[in-house]
Amino acid sequence: MANTDITKPVDLQTHAEGTGPKRFRRPVYMDFMPPCNSACPAGENIQAWLSYAQAGDYFNAFQVIMEDCAFPAIMGRVCVKPCETGCNRNHIDTTINIHAVERYIGDEAINQKWEVRYEAKPTGKKVLVIGAGPGGLSAAYHLARMGHTVEVYDAGNHAGGLLWTGVPEYRLPKEVLDAEIARILNMGIKLRLNYKVQDVMSEKKAGNFDAVYLSVGAQVIHDEGFSHDNSVMITDAFSFFNQVKSNSSPYIKKKIVVYGGGKLALYLSRMIKRFGSEVSVYYPGDKKMMPAYDYETEDALAEGVDVQLFRSISKIEKNKITLEKMKVEKGKAIGTGEFETIDADVLINAYKQESDTGFLRSAANVKINDDGTVVIDAQRMTGESGIFAGGDMLPGENRSSTIAIGHGKKAAKYINGFLTEPYQKPAKPATASYRKLHMWYKTEAPQKEQNKLAPEVAVKSFDEIMAGLGEPEARYEAQRCLSCGNCFECDGCFGACPENAIIKLGKGNRYKFNYDACTGCAVCYEQCPCHAIEMIPEPVN
């Protein structure tokens, strides 16, 4: 597979004005968007770094990843992997295990202490990032690569945001998180912890910042206002996460109810199972409405978590929780008037995450929605000049670290444009879908799956559940890539052309067409397995 920039379509041959006999169309070498790249919320050039990995060059694979995402070891563990859903191999056998290869590269980078290669000319501009979660750190990272001076403020006592407070170690070991954060901070980014910004405009002025990026995570749980008599201990998800770091005793061998249907609810319910307690998750809607992905729910069920749908909490009294049975109409959960009661020692509310945006009150032109999210324009900027926002600060139920990381990168481009030359978003090339491929060789190659702790073993500790791939498996997975939309020099076109109209330019340089010999028969197009050739109308003289 050739290593190429696939951010835009590129005509790779010389446009000689040939006169092939009766030709009304001509072939052109093009670069299309692979579906994996297209589906990645962080905008990773997946196909390009897979090309290095399949050659065993993991160092350069790491450098390509780092152009878009600063967290390969983290994303290789916690990403919800939409790239794999889009992978064209799903039409042949199974997706490439992309996240596992990324994890291998990320872990190698940590173990080998690889540094990021980049050149940045200082701009003299200074940017404040509020929030040291994945989105804020992503923005800070890319802004530093662009040459800006960056400071990150966070109200917590540890960087990482929800990756630190809300993702258990069985999913993301803390040492992995810390290693990738340290790599970013070593680029000269200043981090200020235990500092809650109270007034964004005053902070901007006091620090002489030229721009501000808001990336405060949704670390507030909406108060549902349950009617209760204090007979059941009530807490919220983030209070739970903070408390169990020093004292888990209130949650050991108890009957615990978790209210919510997102991955946060399922994460903490699985933690509770590891405390030896009985835990049930209740959610008002149906499975389609649950924010958590199916595999997250399935993993929780496998570990013994009881998940109940169509249940809304009505009141709490005498150590019992009254639940109203719900039904779904027109995509909304509504009550039926039927009730049931359950016993409980503890209720943990993990329903409806929100962001604390009180520090924006002084920014009169920032429009804040009822749920605490803010409104931005096409340049990722709020109504206040120089104040940008992303991640959980923006509306949408489908929140994830990957999306926040992508927001941070996009915002950095627009912030850089605001501070220097305006940024123009490039046109997105057409995606190379499976129906466009012309596979003339055998491609069956089953996926190398990762080893996983059995549920009955997993619940006995906080050890990481999913194992990584070894080097042979990681390279094998990378070699399963079909190079959709981009030439990998298979010589299919060269060997198939009946007119010898294709010229090889040497390894890594692909081919060009001799239009004086080309007849426009399209045999090369039909023999290109990855759809890197397009037939276009012959130019009219």
Q: Report the pLDDT value the prediction gives residue 21, as an integer from 0 to 100.
A: 54
Contact between 383 and 390 under an 8 Å Cβ cutoff? The reply is no
Which residues, 6+ apart, have CB-to-CB distance to 239 below 8 Å? none
Q: What tens digit of pLDDT does each residue of 222-276 get?
A: 888 888 898 999 999 999 998 988 889 999 999 999 999 999 999 999 999 999 9
Whole-structure pTM value: 0.90
Comparing 58-72, 136-150, 194-208, 211-225, the range with the smallest average pLDDT is 211-225
Q: Report the pLDDT value the prediction gives residue 17, as an integer from 0 to 100.
A: 43
**CB-CB neighbours of 472 under 10 Å:** 10
Query: pLDDT band at residue 46, thresholds of 50, 70 and 90?
Result: very high
Q: What tens digit of pLDDT does each residue of 358-378 get?
A: 889 889 899 988 878 899 999
Q: Report the pLDDT value the prediction gives residue 79, as an integer from 0 to 100.
A: 94
| Cα 41 from Cα 101, distance rounded (Å) | 18
Q: Report the pLDDT value the prediction gives residue 11, as an integer from 0 to 100.
A: 41
Q: Report the pLDDT value the prediction gives residue 4, as an integer from 0 to 100.
A: 44
CA distances from 248 to 205, 245, 298, 398, 461 (A): 42, 7, 25, 30, 14
Q: Report the pLDDT value the prediction gives residue 397, as an integer from 0 to 100.
A: 60
Which residues, 6+ apart, have CB-to-CB distance to 96 below 8 Å? 36, 50, 84, 87, 89, 447, 477, 478, 480, 481
pLDDT above 50: residue 500? yes
| Cα 406 from Cα 396, distance rounded (Å) | 15
**The two three-digit tokens of residue 122, written as one number:** 């200082």
Comparing 11-25, 210-224, 282-296, 471-485, the range with the smallest average pLDDT is 11-25
For residue 259, what are the β-bridge partners? Answer: 282, 349
pLDDT above 80: residue 2? no
Q: What angle do CA 430, 389, 165 make, to 5 degrees?
A: 100
Give domain limits for the chain. 1-32+485-541, 37-116+451-479, 126-167+178-219+366-419, 222-353
For residue 314, what are the β-bridge partners? Answer: none
The mean pLDDT of 338-343, rounded to a whole number, is 95
Task: Determine whether domain 222-353 maps to CATH 3.40.50.300.
Answer: no
Q: What tens digit of pLDDT does each residue of 441-480 get?
A: 777 898 999 999 999 999 999 999 999 999 999 999 999 9
pLDDT above 60: residue 501? yes
For residue 311, what are the β-bridge partners? Answer: 325
* CATH entry, 126-167+178-219+366-419, from 3.20.20.70, 3.50.50.60, 3.40.50.920, 3.40.720.10: 3.50.50.60
Q: Report the pLDDT value the prediction gives residue 214, as an integer from 0 to 100.
A: 96
Q: What tens digit of pLDDT does each residue of 452-463 get?
A: 999 999 999 999
Q: What tens digit of pLDDT does each residue of 145-201 get?
A: 999 999 999 999 999 999 998 899 999 999 999 999 999 999 999 999 999 999 999
CA distances from 122 to 63, 66, 143, 185 (A): 21, 20, 11, 17
Strands 311-317 and 320-329: antiparallel
Q: Report the pLDDT value the prediction gives residue 362, as an integer from 0 to 100.
A: 85
Instruction: Single out the residue of 284, 280, 283 nearest to residue 301, CA to CA.
Output: 280
The whole-chain average pLDDT of the chain stands at 92
| Cα 109 from Cα 293, distance rounded (Å) | 29
The mean pLDDT of 332-359, rounded to a whole number, is 92
pLDDT above 50: residue 9? no
Q: Report the pLDDT value the prediction gives residue 308, as an integer from 0 to 100.
A: 96
Q: Report the topology of domain 1-32+485-541.
A: Alpha-Beta Plaits (3.30.70)
Q: Report the pLDDT value the prediction gives residue 509, as an integer from 0 to 100.
A: 94
Strands 255-259 and 346-349: parallel
pLDDT above 90: residue 416? yes
Contact between 251 and 244 under an 8 Å Cβ cutoff? The reply is yes
- Contacts of 271-274 with CB under 8 Å at 24 or more apart are 271/168, 271/244, 271/462, 273/303, 273/304, 273/305, 273/459, 274/170, 274/459, 274/460, 274/461, 274/462
Fold match, 126-167+178-219+366-419 / 222-353: yes
pLDDT above 60: residue 43? yes
Q: What tens digit of pLDDT does each residue of 293-313 get?
A: 888 999 999 999 999 999 999
